[in-house]
Amino acid sequence: MVSTNGVRATTLFLFCVFVLTRHRKATTSKMAASVRDKQTVALRRMLNFNTPPVKNATSEPVWKVLIYDRFGQDIISPLLSVKELRDMGITLHLLLHSDRDPIPDVPAIYFVMPSEENIDRMCQDLRNQLYESYYLNFISAISRSKLEDIASAALAANAVSHITKVYDQYLNFITLEDDLFILCHQNKELISYHAINRGDMQDTDMEAIMDTIVDSLFCFFVTLGAVPIIRCPRGNAAEMVAAKLDKKLRENLRDARNSLFTGDNMASGQFSFQRPLFVLADRNMDMATPLHHTWTYQALIHDVMDLHLNRVMLEEGAGAEAPPAGARPKKKSRRTYDLTAADKFWQRHKGSPFPEVAESVQEELDAYRAQEDEVKRLKSIMGLEGEDEGAISMLSDNTAKLTSAVSSLPELLEKKRLIDLHTNVATAVLDHIKSRKLDVYFEYEEKLMSKSTLDKSLLDIISDPDAGTPEDKMRLFLIFYITAQQPPSESDLEQYQTALLDAGCDLSPLAYIKQWKAFTKMAATPANYGNSGVKPMGLFSRVMNSGSQLVMEGVKNLVLKQHNLPVTRVLDNLMEMKSHAETDDYRYFDPKMLRGSDSSIPRNKNPFQEAIVFVVGGGNYIEYQNLVDYTKSRAGKKVIYGCSELFNASQFIKQLSQLGQK
């Protein structure tokens, strides 16, 4: 039996370790600029036993094991590659709940959520004495009672001295770009649009969802090192999140000794001169954009392929031609590609219209081939066909050109790898565009959303067996229904529904959108999608050039016109302090004010330079790209986009379908 006094003493010991270390978390690097940089710096520090890594250290890193749960894995994987982990001395990275063998002479760094089952498994590790020492890092703050559970287990296993550090890391969110974050990838259905808008929602369920969202947002602001000014609409989930976040930030600031927003941290951020604006939006404010067919590279990949956490999965090897009779069907191989910050082509073109991307892939390929031919030409001039590189580098000075060409080979090979990656991905996207006529859908939906003149009837597209999948047709009709000033008459609706059913569509999403439209009284004030629209530049009637890999024949060359989507327009009103009927009633919270107020009158009259927009209920790459384009046209402004989950239209339609079946 373990004595109560023993547990108390051990808990006290752990608590001292914990309080000391937890408090130090708040000082992040003074050089880190974006939220991605800051989260990466925090992770590198954690993987270096919670001390800042020394740059250019010639000594070998300390070899260690990283133990994470699925949440920890999702946070680390978009930011640090396996090679980077190895460079930091991580020899093994294992899931907490996998079967792990003891490695008694190695320190272990844990990076997990403080959940009941995780704590139990960590206690089991202590009892089994798996590692030499334990550095316990919790993604989100651990409660006192759970800390006591670890203390009891440590005492019982005689392992108290092996627990070196206990940290709250406040890293419970996933950064995908410098200016894009989501809350979680595991269990995202628990905070999805469907979860928040179910008809049988209990108050306690809603509280739990809001607490989960607020916990992650609190972690985001701790990592950012900034206390925001919060604005939100009234009477929806966004308002509940705003009120809870304001309370949580206020309580932390009031406890000056343990505040995570210390002077050190506040001065180190990009937001050192002015506090950022935090705009909370509700998915219900704009239901058409998540269903919209898109035309930019990143959003298209997300729409038509399996893209999550910056990793895209392609099915290869299944050709269009059927296998000979009696032969086994060819097995499809699945390949994954990482779309990273180091990929310059991706960084330059992820927001470009697809035809532009196809052209650029070809240009990159031509430039690569020219470089490759130059190396071959130099080698043949020197009579060195097939010679090894050692012989080349020993040649006299007049071979400097060749030597430099050969030394650039690794760079050239990496370039070739990235060109192949984008050729494969762009070809797969192009197949979808052609087979489903996605250019036609995109152009037609843009016209619907901007109230432009339509060149053909909606029924024609729904009835055309060659135009898209049943889901494409459903998306188009839902956008028509959502954006219509007046809902269609009963007889028209009957006609549309018959055509949709004939095309193989499931009408459940429409059932929900009808309820939603009636409830939000959207008929009176439909969301304004601005003066959007596309400029057709004619068809790609010819192949771009004779050797092109991407045959764009028959695809419309559509050029996007800049316009602001509803989320961007709301942000613009609030950031520039414009008076507008849409946002004048938005609530205003300042967690630094002594007393909270129910005011919608901003105390700060100056326009904001930095802002974070967060969509409760889920977001998409179309809105993200629209905000990126908006920021590019505003010198000196910084905008970060966040959402509770990042879904594509197919995933969103599934949620609407579930809601419509109830």
Q: What is the pLDDT of residues 367-393, one digit of tens each?
A: 888 888 877 777 676 665 555 555 555
Tens of pLDDT along 21-34? 444 444 443 334 79
Cα–Cα nearest to 196, from 187, 186, 180, 208: 208
Report the pLDDT value the prediction gives residue 382, as an integer from 0 to 100.
65
pLDDT for the residue 142: 93
Q: Which residue type is seen at 255? A: D
Give residue 27's region: left, alpha or beta (phi > 0; psi -120 to 50): beta
Q: What is the pLDDT of residue 10?
A: 59
Query: At a CB cut-off of 8 Å and minimum separation 6, what does 306 contact?
Result: 312, 313
Residues 6+ apart with CB under 8 A from 94: 65, 66, 67, 68, 100
Question: How far is the CA of 207 from the CAs of 182, 188, 243, in angstroms?
Answer: 20, 16, 12
pLDDT of residue 215: 97
Determine the Cα–Cα distance for residues 85 and 72; give it in Å rounded to an integer. 14
User: Tell me: the pLDDT tens digits for 202-258?
Assistant: 999 999 999 999 999 999 999 999 999 999 999 899 999 999 999 999 999 988 778
Q: Which residue has the tokens 């109230």?
A: 451
Position 1 scores a pLDDT of 47
Closest by alpha carbon to 601, among 612, 593, 610, 613?
593
Helix (H), strand (E), coil (C) string for 480-509: HHHHCCCCCCHHHHHHHHHHHHHCCCCCHH
Q: C-alpha distances in angstroms, 12 versus 15, 137, 148?
A: 5, 18, 9
Looking at residue 334, its pLDDT comes to 86
| Under 8 Å between Cβ of 643 and 618 | yes
User: What pLDDT score was predicted for residue 541?
Assistant: 36
* CB count in 10 Å sphere of residue 634: 14
CB 610 within 8 A of CB 277: yes
Give the residue among 548, 556, 483, 476 at the shortest CA–CA distance from 517.
Answer: 483
Q: How far apart are CA 253 and CA 10, in angstroms?
A: 29
Token code pair at residue 558: 């559509």
- State the DSSP code for 270: T
∠ at Cα 506 (501, 512), nearest 5°?
A: 120
Cβ atoms of 343 and 287 within 8 Å: the answer is no
Q: What is the pTM of this model?
A: 0.88
- Structure-token pair, residue 283: 């998915």
Q: What CA–CA distances, in Å, run from 135 to 400, 426, 496, 595?
A: 52, 44, 61, 39
Buried b (16+ CB within 10 A) or exposed e, 175-213: bbbebbbbbbbeebeebbbbbbbbeeeeeeeeeebbebb
Q: What is the dihedral of CA 535, 536, 540, 541, to 10 degrees?
A: -150
The angle formed by the CA atoms of residues 145, 147 and 151, to the nearest 5 degrees, is 115
Helix/strand/coil for 293: coil
H helices of 484-603, in order, are: 490-502, 508-520, 566-575
Take residue 449 and report the two structure tokens written for it.
């959303």
**Exposure pattern of 108-135 as b/e (b: 16+ CB <10 Å)?**
bbbbbbbbeebbebbbebbeeebbebbb
State the pLDDT at residue 554: 66
For helices 116-127 and 144-156, give the axis angle rounded to 10 degrees: 20
Low-confidence ranges of the chain (pLDDT < 70): 1-32, 56-58, 262-273, 317-332, 379, 381-408, 521-554, 558-560, 594-604
Q: Give the integer Cα–Cα distance in Å for 319 and 57.
A: 51
C-alpha distances out from residue 523 to 22, 485, 620, Å: 51, 6, 24
| CA quadruple 370, 373, 378, 382: dihedral, nearest 10 | -170
Q: What Å distances lie between residue 21 and 10, 26, 168, 541, CA to CA?
A: 16, 10, 8, 64
Neighbours of 16 (CB within 10 A): 11
Tallying the residues shown for the chain, one arrives at 662
Give the CA count within 13 Å in the CB-facing half-sphere of 26.
Answer: 23
